[in-house]
Amino acid sequence: MARNTSRRTVVDSPRANARTIRTVSLSAQLKKMVRHPMVIGVTVLVCVFIAGVYALVATPKYEASATVLVNPLSTNPSSSSHSNVSINTEASVASSREVAEAAAKSLSSSHDDLVSELRQSIEVSAHSGTSIFDVKATASSAQDAAEYANAIAQAYLAVRSDALQDSVNTVAAGIEKQIDALGKNGNDAARAALEERLAQVRITDTNAGRIITSAKVPQEPTNLGFIKCIFVGVISGLLLGAIIAWVLDSRARTVNYRDRAEDILGEEVFIIRDTQDIEDTRRAFRSIGVINGNFHKAHIAGAVLYSSVPRASDDFAATLRQAYADKGLTFVDSPASVLSQKKLSPSDTPNILVTDRGTELSEVLSAADVLGACVVVLTPETSVNDLEEFVNVAEHIADAHFLYVFLTS
């Protein structure tokens, strides 16, 4: 809506046009949040309290990491895959229960429960494109974290070496059977080839790899410290509080704030303060051309005072009487006395029609058309639905000034 500055004669109201093109702006959404500082403040305090308690009672977590280099292994020296290592496969092996059981045995004689703990505590991550993977252990004890990581790394190398040795033994046994099958009178060349192959298999290097970086005992837990927890609590509280404030404001049934009324109306709302109500009232009327109470100069014959809040119109009427005590304003409370005349002349004594909540909107708007102005009196208790209903009905009224005032008391 745009505030009237002169009597209009077209039905396509600028107020309607302004409401049509209103868009949702970031500043308008921020206003919804900052209108509820108490909600945001309380939410921040609650989140800070929760974060502080968590920082004090949370079990510390320590992380330690070992790095393993994996050697390529093969019982066939002529194999083209001799130098290739599938590091993702080896990382999966390091995460297996077999390795966890071997590591648990090296750490404790009573290792049944330790196997599950190790598997939950260990994370193995491969370095893509390399023959290296990391073993990261997390535990409530710094010493345990380092021991777990090193135990898994060592157990993996042992399991992998044992597996290769088993493969070497199996291949060697197969070759020996082939040699035995040739007998004493067998082909000497074939026997020599098999014996050479057996010798190569038996000298296969079963070194699975090595730990290139052993896990060290961590000095600090990975948990957020008390100060960091408090900081997270503040940030979380601000975000959560802003969301709650926005929801509360968006769903509020009453106007509550002057700027919220402006958001609904799309035009300026004049605040009438307790301590400066006379000056604020004169300033508001000056915006529609009524300077020093001269309604004739503004080309209007008076104004309708309307509010959906009981007694609000009467309260503002009392202030208006004081503001223009020497202007001879005539105050009436019956719409019929105004509607009986098709149009009042601005040269007549200004009439102020004071309506109450029970007055029909059609009568209010008809009287506004006759007098030339309508003053909508808002308070924090003004219903959002009532105000929006009034705007939707009034936006096509062409021949009246609309003035919105907000009473703080």
| Domain boundaries, given as residue ranges, for the chain | 14-25+256-407, 62-213
Structure token pair of residue 28: 């308008």
Per residue in 96-149, pLDDT tens?
A: 999 999 999 888 766 667 888 888 899 999 998 888 999 999 998 899 999 999
Question: Cβ distance 208 to 157 under 8 Å?
Answer: yes
pLDDT, residue 344, reads 62
pLDDT, residue 409, reads 74
d(CA 14, CA 5): 11
DSSP one-letter code for 130: S
Q: Residue 156's closest CA among 218, 64, 71?
A: 71
Residue 256, by phi and psi: left (phi above 0), alpha (psi -120 to 50) or beta?
left
Lowest pLDDT segment from 286-300, 308-322, 342-356 = 342-356
pLDDT, residue 299, reads 86
Alpha helix ranges (H) inside 75-141: 87-94, 97-107, 112-121
> Is the pLDDT reported for residue 13 higher than 80?
no
The residue-averaged pLDDT of 245-270 equals 88
Q: Which CATH architecture best describes the domain 14-25+256-407?
A: 3-Layer(aba) Sandwich (3.40)
> Is the pLDDT reported for residue 198 higher than 80?
no
Confidence grade of residue 55 (pLDDT, cut at 50, 70, 90): confident
pLDDT, residue 133, reads 93
- Sorted by sequence, the CB contacts under 8 Å of residue 82 that are 6+ apart come out as 72, 74, 76
pLDDT, residue 322, reads 92
Higher-pLDDT residue of 264, 195: 264
Confidence grade of residue 75 (pLDDT, cut at 50, 70, 90): low
Alpha helix ranges (H) inside 341-381: 361-371
d(CA 220, CA 217): 9
- Sorted by sequence, the CB contacts under 8 Å of residue 213 that are 6+ apart come out as 65, 66, 67
> Is the pLDDT reported for residue 196 higher than 70?
yes
Torsions phi, psi for 356 (to 5 deg): -120, 180
Average pLDDT, the chain: 83
Element (H, E) at 270: strand 270-272
Q: How many CB atoms lie within 10 A of CB 360?
A: 10
Q: Residue 136's closest CA among 187, 206, 82, 65?
A: 65
Lowest pLDDT segment from 46-60, 109-123, 259-273, 379-393 = 109-123
Per residue in 290-309, pLDDT tens?
A: 998 888 888 888 999 999 99
Confidence grade of residue 203 (pLDDT, cut at 50, 70, 90): low
The residue-averaged pLDDT of 322-339 equals 86
Confidence grade of residue 237 (pLDDT, cut at 50, 70, 90): very high
Task: Please report, as a single letter, which amino acid is at residue 225.
Answer: G
Q: Residue 173's closest CA among 193, 205, 201?
A: 201
Confidence grade of residue 202 (pLDDT, cut at 50, 70, 90): confident
Model confidence, pTM: 0.57
Q: Residue 255's closest CA among 3, 35, 37?
A: 35
Per residue in 165-174, pLDDT tens?
A: 877 788 778 8
